[in-house]
Amino acid sequence: LIKTQHNGECWMKTYNHFINGAWVEPASGEYFETDNPYTGEVWAKIARGNAADADQAVRAAKVAFDDGEWGQMRPTQRGKLLVRLAEIIEREATRLGELEVRDNGKLIAEMGAQTKYLAEWYRYYGGLADKIEGAVLPSDKPGIFNFTRYEPLGVVGMITAWNSPLLLLAWKLAPALAAGNTAVVKPSEFTSASSLEFMELIKEAGMPDGVVNCITGMGIEVGQPMVDHPDLAKVAFTGSDVAGQKIYESAARKIMPVTLELGGKSPNIVFEDADFEAAVMGAISGIFAATGQTCIAGSRLLVQRSIHDEFVKRLLEVAGAAKIGDPMSPDTHVGPVTTQPQYEKILHYMNVAREDGAPCVLGGGPYTGEGVKGNRFVEPTIFTNVENHMRIAQEEVFGPILSVIPFEDEAEALSIGNDIVFGLAAGVWTSDIGRALRMSEKLKAGTVWVNTYRAVSFMSPFGGYKRSGQGRESGQEAIKEFLQVKSVWIAQQTSPANPFIMR
């Protein structure tokens, strides 16, 4: 990291790549600017990487994996380093949260909680590092001893989205390191600063040089060369389904495994027997928290017709009272949109919904009221009488736009809920335990919340069905995504066997 004077008044940071334990200037010598979504003010310059930088980082990680001390460490030693990292994260959590708010504009109430919770992933996988066990297998072959062992893959490329950079990185990096891999991190070009600052904590924790590297820049310029690098063993990606498809196609050419956590268009389903007020708050949380910029957003609100009108009325009261403004203020409810392209996309979809005939009953445009700076605020928006075939109900917006869809009964709720190419998450609000179990079984989604929404944990697997992704992050399942299994056969006798037949 380099500090340079800006406008003779304030200080602007210039961030370089982090490769092999050192800060490295980009091969091109070029940098790009990053701004504060709330004020629109440029506050840092980020290294603009290219294929040469990607090659340097992957090679460093490869050497660290093949020849460095990391590969010789026992699992317990690796686990202790992860626990040490968790302790450092706890110490720095407040600073990291404030940094992420400055970079992505999300609420300090949310980002501060995320960065404080972040340490749990590293502590959890630190404890799991020396509990990766193979098995002795029963054999039907006389005189043969057969067992399995789990081994790390090698160098893992990690590409994270701009909405929660450090949390999404933890979901990948903690299990990958616990499994014994090395890593090259490529954060979003819109929110790179927190991941780069995090590299200082990696170094302080005592991770050997080259084990974790961080390169920055545009996806096509540095991310794609990283994915295509012959020494890369796996890619773990969080982002849009369109970008995920391109990465999947690139990985397929190398027969390389991937973990993909992609988009969603999640149904949040409210039955007439639900706790009314809790369901209203759950619907608000599902779409307007994080300014709707979350892959698990409950952007399709399915409400049973018998309570539809009353529910929408209460929804408008609560959503209409949401405070919009400074994300660093603890009482702000809705902050700015993180990027200019995303801001324009959200406004575009508001127009698309109107053109398709969906009535707008709240919001529907830019927000320019009190307490805002910059030009990236949009109103919390609700469309009613949405039909599930409409684009606003089928395409991921990634913003504070809620589509309210009425339904008659459980069968119709399931039909509408599953009639989508995505399958990341779903919510169900009911007091009927039988219905809760039936819905959680039949909804085609990787996560189903009942009488709650947006709950995640380091102990619970997360991932999607259908176009929402492949593989799982968090929980014990995640560490298996970064391991490969080897079967070992040992003959207990040396007598010669017929060489022309399979044993």
Look-up of token digits 């490869």: 62
- The burial of 184, by beta-carbon neighbours within 10 Å (0-12 exposed, 13-18 middle, 19 or more buried), is given as buried
* Distance, CA of 98 to CA of 45 (rounded, Å): 18
Per the CB < 8 A criterion, the answer to whether 427 and 286 are in contact is: yes
The pairing of strands 10-15 and 2-6 is antiparallel
* Distance, CA of 478 to CA of 463 (rounded, Å): 10
Residue 197's contacts (CB-CB under 8 Å, 6 or more residues apart) are: 1, 96, 99
DSSP label at residue 38 = T
Annotated catalytic residue 360? no
Residue 429's contacts (CB-CB under 8 Å, 6 or more residues apart) are: 268, 269, 270, 271, 274, 275, 278, 279, 282, 450, 451
Helix axes 165-178, 119-128, angle to 10 degrees: 10
Q: Catalytic pick from 189, 261, 396, 481?
A: 261
Per the CB < 8 A criterion, the answer to whether 483 and 179 are in contact is: yes
Q: Catalytic pick from 92, 110, 295, 379?
A: 295
DSSP letters along 362-398, please?
E--SB---TT--TT--B--EEE-S--TTSHHHHS---
Cross-strand partners of 46: 15, 32
Q: Tokens in use for 126?
A: 């630190």
Our measurement of the distance from residue 148's CA atom to the centroid of its chain's CA atoms, rounded to an integer in Å, reads: 32
331 φ, ψ (degrees, to nearest 5): -100, 10
Annotated catalytic residue 10? no
Catalytic positions, please? Answer: 261, 295
